[in-house]
């Protein structure tokens, strides 16, 4: 009895953990459109979503059957066996969802819970059959194959349906409004908002009233019987309200649609996906209550109670779950990371891409271009011309205001379209009793609408397609991993019982702690990298001065790593060299990003300001050269020490220490010349460079002599010559930087 109570307590603790990691992943479903279009301040968007979640949590009890009997037949399991299934599912779900959150990839909590239940129930069913000496074929009676196949088919079909609808409807909406939609918004804005919000209300009625205990069956029946009349009245009222707000309060009706859609999807998420997080623990709790009241031993009480339709979930549990989800969205950093992935894949403008192109994405894009060229031949010329005019790059940029870091990723038309289409698809599927994944629907609608808006242009298509394929691939991997791991955990729990339980709980606990530490470190590095770009952002200084300040900062950081490389090599300090090498990896990443951003900054300059544009272009190129040299030096030194090669000669160490001191003096001279150009004469800089170059060249000649005399091993020779060669390259770049700023100094 004590151990059973312990299991129930563990299930509820795991439920809270699962809520946190699950909401972090699913938040992208309802936050993407509002955040991507910047329809309102971030806090307003989050508060809107929280209100939807709290209300939606009350509408969840009707769909808890997926955890009770949707995947397996509980009447064939005894109480102790079904508890092993539930515990295996919860442990797997927490680990699996946290992995996706840490990677910043959205996955389907519905798919994970379905395949976890399927895997755990299958393994426990087989083991239970063997224990009872049943025929192995009887093990399949434990699984509800009809329901499972229906759920899985519906979920994966939603990928294709949602993407197709996203492309088609967004194309139609864009042709109606175009990217320069200010005038057309005055004509059609209120009507469009009426259509959009009415669709969203229909979605709420269909999703919200299904199975809720808050309304009587008669009330639900009346709503269903009079749905057309209700929607007509709602449409008229919404159109009138939006018309008045638009013309007298100057409120953009599209913003109302986006916020209403965010609220609706958040509410549906709480109503539909809450089962994915707390359905299993609550079902376990209800099974425990039934067992405790029965007086029958745990290994003899079959779960016919869970197979009945009279099971009602207490509303206070649903509300508590809603509160936990709301707090998670407000505070959890991983939720923001997953949302960023979807927003970036759908953003209208080109720029830095998170995913790398691959052979599959290139083939898809190449085939799409060929198909597009073929279709354009058969399209009427005027239709094709109007389509191209509506999607002119200048109009797109004007609509999305792609200037600065805080610009919208896409406009309000697309944001509204995403929410309306997703709401209609989910409402239709619910009315037809077709199961689907809200994550799959919202993500694929967003990807389809971005494709229709030509957000995947030639500059970004291969990267965006690669990103979408990575996410979709992750979904299928989720299913396989969920099934296998849940089955493995169920096996350990079934055979290990108390010992197996404690081992798996310990593994999960250690993983979660380790994951949060790693994520915090990763986010800290990301924030540090992001902070390096702030010096280039808008300030009282002009772009020329901001660029010079950025170069100065990079010079300081490169020198610090150069100095650490030399001193660590001389001291044979492997741990310090690893740290330097990791820092240089970040510097290389920064170098590539600053090159991309430099093009963006040049585009923002006036065409007459060519000098500043040249400085930005040349400086970023020079910085990349310097960073690569410093990176190569740290990498070479680390490899040498790691592989336990012969230590450098003492005479060489002394020479390198002198080199380090001389490089320090020159670094400081260049940094000072950039900070205060009037204080340092260029002739002094050049003379200092000449002396240092002479020092490097003379010692490089000595190294060549040492090699010819066979005094150095091959690895030793490579390392020692590279130190001088890379130092000389860094020296040359620094002089070119100084010369460039002297030439363009304003």
Q: What tens digit of pLDDT does each residue of 373-396 get?
A: 777 777 677 766 666 655 555 555
**pLDDT tens digit sequence for 713-722:** 888 889 989 9
pLDDT at 662: 92
Tokens 């609550």: give the residue.
282
Q: Is the pLDDT of residue 632 over 90?
A: yes
pLDDT at 389: 57
Q: Is the pLDDT of residue 63 over 50?
A: no
Instruction: Choose from 389-398, 412-421, 595-604 the range with maximum mean pLDDT.
Output: 412-421
pLDDT band at 725 (very low <50, low <70, confident <90, very high): very high
Q: How far is CA 237 from the centre of its chain?
A: 38
Name the phi and psi angles at 725, rounded to 5.
-65, -45
**pLDDT tens digit sequence for 165-217:** 988 888 888 888 777 777 778 878 888 888 888 888 887 776 556 555 556 77
> 606: number of CA atoms within 13 Å, CB side?
3
Q: Is the pLDDT of residue 586 over 90?
A: no
Give the Cα separation of 14 and 278 in Å (integer): 9
Mean pLDDT of 654-674: 90
Please tell me the total number of residues recorded for the chain in this structure.
Answer: 746
Mean pLDDT is lowest, of 33-47, 80-94, 281-295, 305-319, for 305-319
Mean pLDDT is lowest, of 278-287, 535-544, 570-579, 636-645, for 535-544
**pLDDT tens digit sequence for 150-170:** 777 877 788 888 889 988 888
**Region of residue 395 (left: phi > 0; alpha: psi -120 to 50; beta: else):** alpha
pLDDT at 348: 64
Mean pLDDT of 560-574: 90
Map out the domains of the chain as residue ranges.
2-527, 538-744
Q: How far is CA 645 from CA 640, 654, 699, in A?
A: 6, 19, 22
pLDDT band at 661 (very low <50, low <70, confident <90, very high): very high
Other C-beta atoms within 10 Å of 485: how many? Answer: 20
Following CA atoms 526, 530, 532, 535 in sequence, which dihedral angle do they give, to the nearest 10 degrees? -170
Q: Which residues sit opposite 78 in a β-bridge?
A: 302
* Residue % of the chain over a pLDDT of 90: 12
In terms of Cβ atoms closer than 10 Å to its own Cβ (0-12, 13-18, 19+), residue 312 is: exposed
Give domain 538-744's CATH architecture.
Up-down Bundle (1.20)
Which parts of 77-177 fold into alpha helices (H)?
79-103, 109-131, 145-177
pLDDT at 339: 62
Radius of gyration of the chain, Cα coordinates, nearest whole angstrom: 31
pLDDT band at 540 (very low <50, low <70, confident <90, very high): very low
Other C-beta atoms within 10 Å of 134: how many? Answer: 14
pLDDT at 384: 61
Q: Is the pLDDT of residue 694 over 90?
A: yes
Q: Are 581 and 638 in contact (CB under 8 A)?
A: yes
């Amino acid at each position: 009895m004590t151990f059973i109570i312990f299991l129930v307590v563990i299930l509820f603790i795991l439920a809270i953990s699962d809520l946190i990691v699950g909401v972090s992943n699913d938040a992208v479903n309802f936050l993407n459109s509002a955040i991507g279009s910047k329809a309102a301040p971030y806090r307003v968007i989050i508060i809107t979503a929280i209100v939807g979640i709290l209300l939606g949590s009350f509408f969840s009890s009707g769909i808890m059957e997926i955890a009770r009997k949707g995947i397996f037949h509980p009447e064939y399991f005894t109480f102790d066996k079904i508890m092993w299934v539930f515990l295996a599912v919860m442990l797997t779900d927490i680990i699996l969802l946290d992995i996706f959150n840490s990677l910043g990839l959205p996955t389907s909590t519905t798919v994970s819970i379905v395949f976890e239940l399927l895997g755990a129930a299958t393994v426990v069913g087989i083991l239970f059959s063997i224990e009872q000496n049943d025929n192995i074929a009887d093990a399949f009676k434990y699984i509800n194959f009809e329901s499972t196949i229906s759920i899985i088919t519906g979920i994966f079909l939603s990928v294709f349906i949602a993407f197709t609808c996203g492309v088609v409807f967004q194309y139609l909406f864009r042709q109606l409004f175009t990217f320069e939609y200010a005038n057309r918004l005055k004509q059609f804005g209120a009507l469009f908002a009426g259509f959009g919000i009415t669709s969203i209300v229909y979605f709420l009625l269909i999703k919200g009233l299904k199975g809720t205990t808050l309304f009587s069956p008669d009330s639900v029946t009346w709503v269903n019987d009079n749905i057309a009349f209700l929607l007509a009245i709602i449409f008229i009222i919404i159109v009138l309200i939006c018309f008045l707000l638009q013309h007298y309060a100057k409120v953009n009706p599209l913003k109302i649609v986006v916020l209403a859609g965010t609220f609706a999807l958040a509410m549906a998420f709480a109503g539909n996906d809450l089962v994915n997080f707390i359905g299993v623990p609550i079902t376990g709790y209800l099974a425990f209550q039934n067992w405790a009241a029965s007086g029958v031993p745990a290994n003899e009480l079959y779960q016919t109670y869970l197979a009945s339709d009279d099971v009602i979930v207490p509303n206070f549990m649903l509300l508590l779950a809603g509160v936990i989800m709301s707090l998670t969205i407000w505070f959890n950093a991983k939720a923001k990371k997953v949302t960023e992935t979807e927003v970036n894949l759908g953003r209208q403008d080109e720029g830095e891409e998170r995913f790398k192109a691959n052979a599959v994405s290139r083939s898809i894009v190449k085939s799409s271009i060929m198909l597009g060229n073929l279709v354009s031949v058969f399209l009427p010329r005027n239709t094709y011309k109007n389509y191209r005019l509506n999607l002119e790059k200048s109009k797109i940029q004007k609509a999305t205001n792609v200037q600065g870091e805080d610009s919208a990723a896409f406009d309000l038309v697309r944001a509204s379209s995403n929410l309306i289409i997703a709401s209609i698809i989910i409402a239709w599927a619910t009315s037809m009793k077709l199961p689907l994944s809200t994550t799959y629907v919202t993500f694929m609608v967003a990807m389809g609408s971005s494709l229709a808006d030509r957000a995947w242009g030639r500059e970004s298509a291969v990267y965006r397609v690669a990103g979408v394929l990575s996410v979709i691939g992750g979904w299928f991997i989720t299913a396989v991993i969920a099934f296998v791991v849940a089955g493995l955990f169920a096996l350990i729990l079934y055979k290990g019982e108390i010992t197996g339980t404690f081992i798996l709980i310990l593994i999960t606990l250690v993983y979660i702690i380790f994951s949060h530490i790693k994520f915090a470190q990763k986010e800290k590095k990301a924030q540090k990298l992001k902070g390096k770009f702030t010096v280039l952002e808008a300030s009282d200084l002009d772009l020329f001065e901001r660029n010079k300040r950025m170069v100065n900062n990079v010079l300081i950081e490169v020198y610090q790593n150069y100095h650490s490389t030399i001193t660590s090599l001389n001291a044979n300090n492997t741990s310090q060299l690893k740290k330097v090498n990791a820092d240089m990896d970040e510097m290389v990443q920064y170098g590539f990003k600053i090159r991309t951003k430099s093009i963006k900054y040049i585009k923002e300059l006036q065409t007459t300001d060519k000098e500043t544009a040249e400085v930005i272009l040349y400086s970023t190129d020079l910085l990349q050269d310097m960073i690569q040299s410093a990176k190569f030096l740290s990498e070479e030194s680390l490899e040498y020490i790691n592989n336990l090669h012969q230590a450098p000669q003492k005479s060489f160490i002394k020479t390198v220490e002198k080199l380090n001191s001389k490089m320090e003096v020159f670094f400081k001279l260049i940094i000072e010349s950039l900070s205060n150009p009037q204080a340092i004469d260029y002739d002094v800089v050049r003379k200092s460079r000449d002396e240092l170059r002479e020092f490097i060249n003379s010692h490089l000649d000595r190294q060549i002599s040492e090699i010819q005399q066979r005094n150095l091993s091959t690895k030793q020779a490579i390392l020692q010559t590279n130190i001088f060669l890379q130092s000389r390259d860094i020296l040359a770049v620094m002089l070119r930087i100084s010369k460039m700023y002297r030439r363009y100094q304003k």
